[in-house]
Chain A
């Protein structure tokens, strides 16, 4: 975002946009922050920082466009630029692993899973959450944006600053990794998988 912006909204309009279009998303924003950092204080800082930036740069927000996507993009950038830099866990290892995946265009759609639909439906919320939380942050993020928050591929591409094709392939890889985790849970918890038959 540029510091140089033309004056666009009056103070009254700014307050109306902030209260009417930005604040209703605070629940999703906080949960996104929490799922990125796994820490209540870090999530609060990220969300607070995001809303301050949103107010500061409110003139670059076009009314009628997707405020939630705009806010998510700011939070994601804050997470990468601010949180990751000062974090004691720079996440270098898993990020390299992730990048190795990304550098291949050859997405293997042929991976099959012996995980059963019934086993998935029987799983507890904690098991689902733990499986999601165990994924590297970039894979976790696409699943959060798509499956939990319901963003379109186009919105995700804008939030993450990546092409739509990369959204599709990253999402597919994330889902395969998630299925691996869920299958492990299913086996550990004694749910049936086809492998046992």
Chain B
């Protein structure tokens, strides 16, 4: 993210099409975006405060989900059990 955009102070405070914009921002964040999406993203974040806030909050949540969610170790016996069952049905 371009940090220079953070201090522009020229963003509009209300988004004209929240529904469309937020859906687009989430698509871009999720990597399901069109080829020109980075340009669209830069433009929206520079011009619209609600879009800017929504995008950064969603990005932060996505990041903590990915990095901080509790992971459970696969029980050691599971792989062996699966292989044994496979042998039985072969």
Contact = CB atoms under 8 A, between A and B. Distances in A.
Interface of A: 11, 18, 23, 26-27, 30-31, 34, 40, 43-44, 47-48, 51-52, 55-56, 107-110, 112-113, 115-117, 120-121, 123-126, 128-129, 132, 143, 146-148, 150, 152-154, 168, 171-172, 175, 178-179, 182
A129 B70 contact: yes
Contacts of A124: 68
B10 interface: no
Nearest to A172: B26
14 contacts: A30-B72, A30-B78, A47-B82, A109-B19, A109-B23, A120-B60, A125-B69, A146-B30, A152-B30, A152-B31, A153-B27, A154-B32, A168-B26, A175-B26
A148 B66 contact: yes
Contacts of A48: 78, 81-82, 85
A31 B19 CA distance: 33
Interface in B42-74: 50, 53-54, 56-58, 60-66, 68-72, 74
A23 B69 CA distance: 23
B18 A132 contact: no
A51 B82 contact: yes
B34 interface: no
A153 B31 CA distance: 9
Contacts of B30: 146, 152-153, 171
Q: Dominant SS at the B interface?
A: helix
Q: Dominant SS at the A interface?
A: helix
B interface, size bucket? 35 or more
Interface of B: 18-23, 26-27, 30-32, 50, 53-54, 56-58, 60-66, 68-72, 74-75, 78-79, 81-82, 85-86, 89-90
Contacts of A52: 82, 85-86, 89
A121 B22 CA distance: 21
Contacts of B79: 23, 26
Contacts of A56: 89
Contacts of A18: 86
B7 to A, nearest CB: 16
